[in-house]
Structure 1
Amino acid sequence: MSPSESSPAEASPSESSLAGEAANVPPGSVAAILPAAGQSRRFAERGEKKIFVSLAGKPVWRHAAETLRSCPAIGPIILAVADSDRPRWQQCEAELRRLDITLCSGGAARSDSVNNGLQLVGEAALVAIHDAARPLLPPEDLQNVVAAAQRSGAALLATPVRATLKKADDDLSACHTVDRRRVWEALTPQVFRTSVLRNAYARWQGRPATDDAELVERSGHAVQIVPGSAINLKITLPEDLDIAAALLNA
């Protein structure tokens, strides 16, 4: 394999060492926040928000929440939801109680929702931010990123970009190839020492950020990449639901 084709994963921290460290994370020491207040505009043709759509017999959000709840390190789980969706969440009361999930009001942007959830994490040492629309999180990836964050203070799951990337001119009349050797696609969970994330939000001036790792980077704290599985896809378009169903059936 030529240098231009080599995978960034080859230089990544040992996953086996992270698996060993995962056993040292105290039970219940990680709070999880699931932003779930989005409008799902790109999913409108299905007639309801993507987190409520059924996947293998249960809503997308429940797949995500159940994986988190099955991890011994996870303590409080906070779902940040749109106030307009409160009647729908009342229909899920039994499941929310079974999974010991607390609802909080989401905001206009993802960062607003996470910031609201951050007020409810209590004394948790770490905070994991996970998209409610990512139903296929492998449990071992969750354990690895939590272990990495306990050691470094900030870590996120990511997968190496595999496709050839092109950067186009504004009018699409020309493009050039982007070197992908150090390019990763960010996944969730993104896990942070609670003090690190609170410091990042204390410095936040409302400037848009695509994810919490970006806010933490701006605060001056390095964020470690933990290689994760590409099956941990986010349901964004209707066809993503079909792909997730196929993966679950495989």
Structure 2
Amino acid sequence: MTSLPVASVAVVLPAAGSGQRFGDHANKLFAHLDGRPLWTHAAETLLRRVEVNLIWLVVSPQDHDRFADQVSSLSQPDRVRLVIGGAQRSDSVAAALAEINRSSSEATRWIAIHDAARPLLKDSDVSAVFECAAQTGAAILATPVTGTLKRGSGDNSACQTIDRRGVWVAQTPQVFAVDVVSQAYARHRGRPATDDAELVERTGHPVSLISGAADNLKITYPEDLAVAAALMQTRLS
């Protein structure tokens, strides 16, 4: 099985969002899960990977100092760099890519972009998406849609059933060759996109899907944190 070389991957962790749906004035990534900040769980999983050289944590100016304090508590804080992000997620990823291109050695051949709010990332899923990216140049974790899909305009509106065959829910990490994702962002020009893979798709480069764990959930609402805590306990039991 083809894999990525040691220290060839730069990880981008976008963490500059406001998290308004979480219902708190503070960044949701500061919420604690199993006794430590939410974002550090994914960071530690990725720091254990020999393929990863650095993690680029993209933060807002107002959160910079707090994140810097929390970075110091990681197992390998010297492998984490802070970057000031932008108003949109795509702006934050673009800022990280610019820093990587300016600062990294030629050893960095791959970019892995992971939601900092996905704390339950499995090492086996990281291996799978890294291996696929090594073969195709672009790969993402995703899960197949299992429920019935409906399209409607809102409450009390008529709905239409959508065929779910072949429909997947995108997850992260999303892993790309440096030139592939750099070209995608160079062509972005502000047109809305829901994830990094969509930008890559627009360039004509195919993006491969790798089936990931269903519990690689993104913390969006306060109740998601309770679900994550229960899932974590299940893993540990």
User: What's the TM-score once normalised by structure 1's chain length?
Assistant: 0.87
Residue 127 of structure 2 is aligned to residue 148 of structure 1: no
The within-5 A match list for 1:49-64 is 49-64=27-42
Instruction: Work out the number of aligned pairs and report it.
Output: 228
User: Which letter does structure 2 place at the counterpart of 1:118?
Assistant: L
- Give the partner amino acid of 1:28: A
Q: Which amino acid aligns with 2:189?
A: Q
Contact 1:127 1:194 in 2 (8 A): yes
Counterpart-to-counterpart distance in 2, 1:198 and 1:167: 34
- Provide the residue aligned with 1:94 in structure 2: 72
Structure 1 residue 219 displacement after superposition: 1.0
Residue equivalent to 1:212: 196
Instruction: Letter of the 1:38 partner, please give it.
Output: G
Q: Deviations over 1:164-199 (max 9, x none)?
A: 111114564211111111110000000000000011
Correspondence list, 1:4-153, <5 A: 20-22=1-3, 25-45=4-24, 48-95=26-73, 98-99=76-77, 100-121=79-100, 122=104, 123=106, 124-153=108-137
Identity %: 51
1:15 corresponds to: none
| Residues 83 and 174 of structure 1, relative CA distance in 2, 3 Å threshold | same
Larger mean Cα displacement after TM superposition, 115-124 or 84-93: 84-93
Once residues 243 and 180 of structure 1 are traced to their aligned partners in structure 2, the CA distance between those partners, rounded to angstroms, is: 25
Aligned with residue 236 of structure 1, among 202, 210, 220: 220
Amino acid of the residue matched to residue 41 of structure 1? Q
Instruction: Work out whether residues 10 and 53 of structure 2, in 8 Å CA contact, stay in contact via their aligned partners in 1.
Output: yes
CA deviation vs aligned residue, 1:186-241 (integer Å, no higher than 9, x gap) = 00000000000011111111111111000001111110001101110000000000
Aligned match of 1:6: none
Instruction: Give the Cα–Cα distance (whole angstroms) in 1 for the partners of residues 226 and 75 of structure 2.
Output: 29
8 Å contact kept, 1:96–1:102: no
* Per-residue Cα deviation, 1:63-91 (whole angstroms, up to 9, x for no partner): 01001111111111100000011221232
The CA distance in 1 between the partners of 2:111 and 2:94, in whole Å, is 12
Query: Counterpart of 1:21 in structure 2: which amino acid?
Result: T
- For structure 1, the 5+ residue unaligned runs are 1-19
- Cα distance in 1 for residues equivalent to 2:37 and 2:74: 12
- The equivalent position to 1:248 in structure 2, one of 220, 232, 237, is 232
Judged with a 3 Å threshold, the aligned counterparts in structure 2 of structure 1 residues 41 and 33 are, in CA distance, closer, same or farther, namely same
- Alpha-carbon distance in 2 for matches of 1:217, 1:153: 12
Give the stretch that moved more between structures: 170-179 or 133-142: 170-179
CA–CA distance in structure 2, aligned partners of residues 108 and 97 of structure 1: 30
Paired residue type of 1:238: P
SS in 2 for 1:119: helix
**RMSD over aligned Cα, in angstroms?**
1.4
- CA deviation profile, 1:8-36 (whole Å, cap 9, x unmatched): xxxxxxxxxxxx333xx211111100000
Give the unaligned 5+ runs of structure 2.
Answer: none
